[in-house]
Amino acid sequence: RVSRFVGDLNPEAQLLEKTPSSRASSRASSHERGDIGVWVKEGRHHKTNDNDAAKTEVPDPQSPGSETSEIEPQGDIQYAAITTLEGDIRAAANFKLPDKPDVLALLDIYFSHVNNIVPVVEEESFRHAYEKSRVPFVLLLAVILVSCRHEVAKPHLRFSIDGTPLEARAFARAVAATLTALLKAEVERDKLTLIQTLMLASMHAEGPTGNEDASLRLSAAVHHAGTIGLHLPRNLGSSEDRRTTRLFWALWSLDRLNAGINGRAVFIHERDVEERPTTFCDDPSDKQKYGPFELWLKITALLDKVIALYRPSKTLEVPWENGFPTFEEVVGEDAGNLTPEQIAMFELYYHSVAILSCRLRHSTPLPPSAPARILQSLSALRITKVANEENLGMLPPIPVIPYALTLSMTVAYRQFRESKLHIHKMRARADWERAHRALAALGKQWWSAEALARLGAQAMERIE
C-alpha cells in the first residue's frame, strides 16, 4: 500500500527515515527507503487529520485485501461529485472581498515585498486595472493570498471594514477555497492570467494535501506556459518581450523551488529553453526594481545544480565540496539595492541550498570531518542565527523561510543522533531546540512549519 513518495530534497524524508517506529505507530504506518527518497506506507486503520505531516492514503485497488477493491456504485460517485461541486460553488458565492482600504494595503505588501523578488504581475497595469474594476478576480485573489502572511498584513485580514482580523492561515484558507472553486469552474480563460494566478497560488499550501495541491497548480502553470510558448523568444516589441521573459524565468524559479520544498521532479527541462539572460535591467535605474529578482535567480541557479545530486543515477553523486560560492560572492555588488529583510530572506535561501549541496546518502555516510559536513553544519547554524536575530514575519512571505528552518532542524537532529560525546550531543540538542522553536513560531503563518515542527518533536522524543 504505497501512499506517497517523499524525495530527499524534502527534509521530511530524513525525519521519517530516521524516526524509529513505536510498536503502536508501526501498525499504522511504515516506510521504505529508496535511493533518492522514502516511500511512506500507511496501514488500514491509519487516519490522517489536518495536523498530520503525511497525506491521506491512496490504496492500491490491485492489492490483496484492499478495502477499495470493489467498484463504487455509479450513483454514489455522481452524488459525491455533485456534493463537492455544490460546496465549491457555495463557497465562491458567499465569499466577500475585503474592503478597498484593506485590499490596497495587501497590494502594497505584495508589490513591496514579493513581486520585486518573483515578478509575476506588472504593477502599473495591475493597479490601473484594479482602479477601473477590470483586474481579473482570480489574479486579485492570488495576490491577496500571497501577501496575507506578512506581519504588516495582520490588521487587514478581514472581510469587512469593522470586522475582527483573522489569523493569517484562516484568512488564507478562505481566500484559497474561493480561488480554487473559481479555477475549477474555469471562470478565467486567458492563459497568461491563469499562469500568473497559478504561480502565485502554488506558494500556498495548507493541510495534509497542501504540498501536493501546490505542486499541481504549478504544473498547470507550466502546462499553460507551454501552450502559449512562453518559454520561446518572440519579436513582440522590447517591453513586451522583457515582460514575458521575466514571467517565464519567474516560473522557472518556482519550478526549481517546488522541486526542493516538495521533493518533486522539475517540470521545465533545461534543453527546452534558451539560456537565461545575464541581466533583466536595461539601465542602472532598473537595479532597484529587478536587482532582487536577479539575485533570486542566481541562488535558484545554484539550487538547479544541486537538484542533480538527488536524481536517480547508477553512479554515486558526490556532494558539491569544491567551488561552492559564499553568500557574499553570490550577492556581489547587489547588496546596496536590497533591503535588510530581503538580505535576510536571501541568506536563508542560500544556506538552504548549501545544506542541500552536501547530500549524505544513507548508504555512504560521510565522516564529520568531510568538507561537505562542515559546510552543512555551518549553514544550519547560520539559518538559526538569522531566525533568532530577525523578525521572520517581516521577511518576504515566500515558502523558503519555513523550508530553511526545517532543513536546519533536520541537520541538528542528525548530529544529535550521530554524536558520540555527551557534550556534543547536548550542543546538537541545543541547536535543534533553537531551530525547532523558530520553526514552531512560524506555525501561525505556514501549515508546513506547524506540521514539520510537530514531526521533528516526535522524532526527537522517540530517540531521547
User: Are 101 and 184 in a shared domain?
Assistant: yes
User: Are 443 and 346 in a shared domain?
Assistant: yes
Residue 429, pLDDT above cutoff 70: yes
359 φψ region: left (φ > 0), alpha (ψ -120 to 50), beta (else): beta
Q: Element (H or E) spanning 461, and its range? A: helix 447-463
User: Are 186 and 137 in a shared domain?
Assistant: yes
Asked, for residue 36, whether it belongs to a domain, the answer is no
User: Are 334 and 262 in a shared domain?
Assistant: no
Asked, for residue 20, whether it belongs to a domain, the answer is no
Q: Which phi and psi (to 5°) does residue 29 adopt?
A: -155, 155
Alpha-carbon distance 234 to 221, whole Å?
20
Query: Is the distance from CB of 261 to CB of 399 less than 8 angstroms?
Result: yes
In this prediction the pTM is: 0.86
The C-alpha cell 504540498 sits at 211
User: Are 304 and 189 in a shared domain?
Assistant: no
Q: Which tens digits make up the pLDDT trace of 318-356?
A: 666 677 899 999 998 778 889 999 999 999 999 999 999
Query: Which of helix, strand or coil describes residue 109?
Result: helix
User: Are 265 and 320 in a shared domain?
Assistant: no
Domain end (from 273, 291, 316) = 273
Domain end (from 255, 273, 291) = 273
User: Are 266 and 318 in a shared domain?
Assistant: no
343: CB partners within 8 A, 6+ apart: 331, 335
Weakest-pLDDT range from 11-20, 183-192, 271-280: 11-20
Q: Which tens digits make up the pLDDT trace of 197-214?
A: 999 999 999 999 999 999
Report the pLDDT value the prediction gives residue 314, as an integer from 0 to 100. 65
Concatenated DSSP letters of 86-118: HHHHHHHHH--PPPHHHHHHHHHHHHHHTTTTS
Asked, for residue 79, whether it belongs to a domain, the answer is no
The x, y and z cell numbers of residue 69, run together, are 477493491
The x, y and z cell numbers of residue 145, run together, are 493570498
Q: Which tens digits make up the pLDDT trace of 116-161?
A: 999 999 999 999 999 999 999 999 999 999 999 999 999 999 998 8
User: Are 151 and 264 in a shared domain?
Assistant: yes
Asked, for residue 422, whether it belongs to a domain, the answer is yes
Residue 39 pairs with which residues in a beta bridge?
5, 32
Asked, for residue 444, whether it belongs to a domain, the answer is yes
User: Are 346 and 399 in a shared domain?
Assistant: yes
Total number of domains constituting the chain: 2
Alpha-carbon distance 355 to 374, whole Å?
10
The x, y and z cell numbers of residue 348, run together, are 536563508
User: Are 332 and 424 in a shared domain?
Assistant: yes
User: Are 342 and 216 in a shared domain?
Assistant: no
Q: Which tens digits make up the pLDDT trace of 358-397?
A: 876 655 556 665 677 788 899 999 999 999 999 999 999 9
Asked, for residue 169, whether it belongs to a domain, the answer is yes
Query: Is the distance from CB of 401 to CB of 395 less than 8 angstroms?
Result: yes
- Which of 126, 153, 128, 125 lies closest to 140, judged by CA? 126
Q: Which phi and psi (to 5°) does residue 219 adopt?
A: -65, -35
- Which of 435, 266, 443 lies closest to 352, judged by CA? 435
Domain end (from 238, 273, 308) = 273
Asked, for residue 7, whether it belongs to a domain, the answer is no
Query: Is the distance from CB of 288 to CB of 337 less than 8 angstroms?
Result: yes
User: Are 303 and 409 in a shared domain?
Assistant: yes
Instruction: State the residue range of the domain holding 441.
Output: 299-464
Asked, for residue 241, whether it belongs to a domain, the answer is yes
